Each structure stands twice: as C-alpha cells, then as structure tokens.
Amino acid sequence: MSQTSTSLHSTEVGDTGERVVFLHGLFGQGRNFTQIAKAMRPEFHSLLVDLPNHGRSGWTDTFSYAATADRIAEHLAEGFAADGPVHVVGHSMGGKVAMLLALRHPELVERLVVVDIAPVPSDNAGEFEHLLGSLAGLELDGLARRADADEQLSEAIPQERVRGFLLQNLRSSSEGFSWQANLGLLRDELAAIGGFPEVTESFDHPVLWMAGERSGYVTEDAEPEMQRLFPRTVQVTIKGAGHWVHSEKPEAFISALRTFLGAT
C-alpha cells in the first residue's frame, strides 16, 4: 500500500474545548495517550492518531517523515482541523512527524508540543535494532498465550515495562498471534526513522519543547537547529522522567500541557 493511500485510524476523546492532536512514538499507538486525553477534559477535545504502520492504521512500502506528515495533514484537514488550526503534541518519532507537520502545513497547527525528541538525527539505532530484532525472533506460531511471548522476551528485554509496551502490538485472533505494527518495514527503515530531513522553512507559532530529565534525546547540541526552525520555542524539563515522559510523569506532563496550550 502506498504512503498516500494509507488509511489512518484515530479516536476522539471529549467533545468540548480546544482541539489537540496526539502523535505517538515508535512501536506506540494513539491509545497510549488515552488517560492523558481524558484528564484534559472538558477544556480540551483530543484526537489520538495511529501513525502509518502502527495500531489500526494502514501499512506502507516505504517511510519518510515528509510523506507521513503530509498524510497526517490530509487526515486532519478532512476532519478534526477542517474548521481551523489545532494544537499538536508529538512524542519521539511522533514529535518528528509533528515538527514536519507544522513546518509543511502551518495553516493546520496553532501550537506545537515536541516531547523528548529534537529535529536532528537520533543516536538510538542500536537500541531499536535490538528491540525489533528481539520481536522478529519471537516464534508466533508456537504461542498459546501472551504470557508466553513475555517469557520468551524476558532475557533479551529484561525491563518488564518495555516488554509490556512492545507487546501491546501483539494481536490474537482465531488464526493465532500476529503483529499489528509493520515490524519488517520499521526495521528496514530505522536509519530514516532515526534521521531528520533537511528543512528550510520555519514555524513562527509558540512551541513547547519538553524533555525528560533522565533522557538523552534532547541535548544542547540540538538547540541551535530547534531555534532556527522554531524561533518561538520554550523548553521545559520534566524532573525524574525518562524518554516516555507522558507515562512516567503523567501529572507533570498534563500540567505542562494545560499551562502552555491554555496560555493567551
């Protein structure tokens, strides 16, 4: 299936207030932000998007941030943002998509929140290659229950929280277990996913750049490029949080969102 024809799945939470779109990271799904979106009601009306090759959205043959951002833009323009620009929150890979969305389609984005990622290549290919390789090595035909998959992965991925996050992509049906995410493509395209395209445009609306204190994804070296592309950036660090800021420190995350998106 081509990038441009990919069907996108999204879910709305709430029905009043300012509109905000959430874009998840690699291996994630829109529903990862369900509790955040529920806590943002009634002041905010949220759209949780499954990015291409993730969740219930369609698969593609190739990957690029520009094409992904354009597909998200098309989806928003047809529905959630049909009446005007919306706020966009993106974490990790979803943060890169969100940045390209704002740069390529500024008419759709009111305020932008970039969570624990920067507009520069990420030095994490080895980590994700290991995770994807571990998942690819799982013998799905021999699985009787999800707990068997968790047990098989426990040696390669000892962190229970990480295994649980990854195994949300495992689906059970009458025909057995299968992966909902397009793991083959994601593994093949890790270099592109870890990179960031060269961009000449800039986005002159307010931007919140949120980093986890214990994460290494946002560095001082990335600040000049962030300021070039997003000159109205304000940076905050969430104390005690690692890369998955919204799941590790949800209250601080929600507080920062409410303060920034509700500001006049």
Number of domains in the chain: 2
Q: How many residues does the chain have?
A: 264
Question: Between the CA of residue 202 and those of 51, 218, 263, what are the distances in Å?
Answer: 23, 19, 22
The pTM of this model reads 0.93
Let me know whether 89 and 205 are in one domain: yes
Let me know whether 175 and 209 are in one domain: no
Query: Is there a cis peptide before residue 158, judged by omega within 30 degrees of 0?
Result: no
Q: What pLDDT is recorded for position 10?
A: 97
Question: Between the CA of residue 178 and those of 90, 153, 156, 172, 173, what are the distances in Å?
Answer: 27, 16, 20, 7, 8
Let me know whether 156 and 214 are in one domain: no
Q: What pLDDT is recorded for position 132?
A: 86
Let me know whether 101 and 206 are in one domain: yes
- Per the structure, the complete domain to which residue 133 belongs is given by 125-188
Report the CATH number at residue 240. Answer: 3.40.50.1820
Q: How far does Cα 17 stand from its chain's mean position?
A: 23
- Residue where a domain terminates, one of 167, 188, 209: 188
Q: What pLDDT is recorded for position 124?
A: 66
Q: What is the pLDDT of residues 93-130, one digit of tens each?
A: 999 999 999 999 999 999 999 999 999 998 766 678 88
Q: Which residue ranges of the chain lie beneath pLDDT 70?
A: 1-5, 124-126, 264
Let me know whether 114 and 214 are in one domain: yes
Q: What pLDDT is recorded for position 165?
A: 87
Let me know whether 153 and 204 are in one domain: no
Let me know whether 208 and 105 are in one domain: yes
- Residue where a domain terminates, one of 188, 213, 230: 188
